Amino acid sequence: ERAKLSKLRRLPAETTDGELLELQANLEIPAELPLIAQAGAQGIGLLRSEFLFLNRDSLPDENAQFDAYRSIVEAMGGDAVTIRVLDWGGEKDMEALGEGVPAPGGPNPALGLRGLRLLLKKPELLEEQFAAILRVAVRGPVRVMLPMVTIPQEVAQARDIYERVAKRLRRRGETLPEKLPPLGVMIETPGAALAADAIALEADFFSIGTNDLAMYTLAVDRAETEVAHLYDSLHPAVLRLVQFATEAALRMRMPVSVCGEMAGNAKFVPLLMGLGLRSLSMNASSIPRVKQAVRGLTIDDCARLARRVMEQSDPQRIRELVEAFAAEKL
């Protein structure tokens, strides 16, 4: 089994009819880096930067962040790293970020000051993080990703800050790549998914976060056990949003991937492929299983599965179709 996995690591995630998929890893803490190498990930599709801000008395400054990102980017040896700026708040139940930073919370934290909203309220946070990331960009390919976007203006506002920070760094004598790293967005709210065509005008790439997308679409808290039975990424509403956002990106020839848990479930991958997705980011431990699945599939079969699934309105029926496909093909 071990030998099989290590052989698999070197093989491409290629369907039997020759379509290549990109399988990347999600990273929550740097300690997971060796796992990523072992799994044969093609870079990091989602670096959750929250770890840098947890369990400490003061905010990490630009240099501390730079050191952390640099060691990750260098460890990836030339493979791309997508760094998501701080996604504070919501179900992540964070402590205050220090003086002058509004605490996420309020009557409904998931609908409040979370992710990019908080960063735009306290732009110094975003400026420092952008600066640290931009300085790392000459050491390896990086991409920058914004969490919890709902309107195009938020992206435009973040981009203004991004470009201003780059200018300031250049004035300061820092070397930055001539072309700034791509600035993309998470599609993880129904609003962003349904306005994907509008948001695409402001963004360089999409990464669909099915964890939050399912939560917000179905009004089911990810952490609420009483309603856990209603949390279902195969609900047709969630799938239609994934489809809409994916098609908006593909029409504009903009890179699109999925980085929610759905992408790491080998049974769900054929459906995502059938919807047109070719880039998936997941827990490193899921990569071998997903790669193995991809290597036994044809795009035609996946497309047929997606067509049948998207005609259904009953989540139970969708589950049966997905399970039957997995039983036959995986």
What are the binding residues?
48, 84, 188, 211-212, 222
The reply on whether position 221 binds Mg ion by CB under 5 A is no
Do 205 and 184 contact (CB within 8 A), yes or no? yes
Compute the least distance from the CB of residue 189 to Mg ion, in Å: 9
- Interface pick for ligand PEP out of 22, 128, 154, 188 (rule CB under 6 A): 188
Query: Which residues, at least 6 apart from 108, have a Cβ–Cβ distance to it below 8 Å?
Result: none
* Helix (H/G/I), strand (E/B), else coil: 295: coil
Stretch that binds Mg ion, among 43-51, 104-112, 208-216, 276-284 (CB under 5 A): 208-216
- Per-residue binder mask for ligand PEP (CB under 6 A), 74-103, x = binder: -------------x----------------
Neighbouring C-alpha atoms within 13 Å toward the C-beta of 111: 9
Neighbouring C-alpha atoms within 13 Å toward the C-beta of 294: 28
Compute the least distance from the CB of residue 22 to Mg ion, in Å: 20
Compute the least distance from the CB of residue 258 to Mg ion, in Å: 12
Compute the least distance from the CB of residue 133 to ligand PEP, in Å: 17
> What counts of helices (H) and strands (E) characterise the chain?
14, 8
Q: Which residue has the tokens 């193995």?
A: 292
The reply on whether position 128 binds Mg ion by CB under 5 A is no
- Interface pick for ligand PEP out of 42, 48, 142, 241 (rule CB under 6 A): 48
Query: Which residues, at least 6 apart from 91, have a Cβ–Cβ distance to it below 8 Å?
Result: 109, 110, 215, 221, 222, 223
Q: What is the DSSP string of 254-285?
A: --EEE-SGGGG-TTTHHHHHHTT--EEEEEGG
Q: Which single residue brings its beta carbon nearest to ligand PEP?
A: 209
> Which of residues 15 and 26 has its CB atom nearest to Mg ion in the complex?
26
What type of residue sits at position 260?
Answer: G
* Helix (H/G/I), strand (E/B), else coil: 42: coil
Report what 288 binds from Mg ion, ligand PEP, none; CB cut-off 5-8 Å by kind.
none
The reply on whether position 89 binds Mg ion by CB under 5 A is no
- Interface pick for Mg ion out of 184, 209, 274, 288 (rule CB under 5 A): 209
Binding to ligand PEP (CB under 6 A) within 18-37 occurs at none
Compute the least distance from the CB of residue 73 to ligand PEP, in Å: 20
- Interface pick for Mg ion out of 188, 232, 261, 301 (rule CB under 5 A): 188
- Interface pick for ligand PEP out of 71, 157, 211, 298 (rule CB under 6 A): 211
Do 261 and 242 contact (CB within 8 A), yes or no? no
Compute the least distance from the CB of residue 46 to ligand PEP, in Å: 6
Binding to ligand PEP (CB under 6 A) within 238-277 occurs at 259-260
State yes or no: is 302 an active-site residue. Answer: no
Angle between helices 62-75 and 123-136 (to 10 degrees): 40
User: Among the options 220, 259, 287, 326, which is catalytic?
Assistant: 259
Do 117 and 148 contact (CB within 8 A), yes or no? yes
Q: What is the DSSP string of 203-231?
A: -S-EEE-HHHHHHHHHT--TT-GGGGGG-
The reply on whether position 232 binds ligand PEP by CB under 6 A is no
Distance CA 184, CA 278 (A): 17
> What residues are annotated to the active site?
259
Chain residues binding ligand PEP by CB under 6 A are: 46, 48, 87, 188, 209-212, 259-260
Residues at the interface with Mg ion (CB under 5 A) = 188, 209, 212
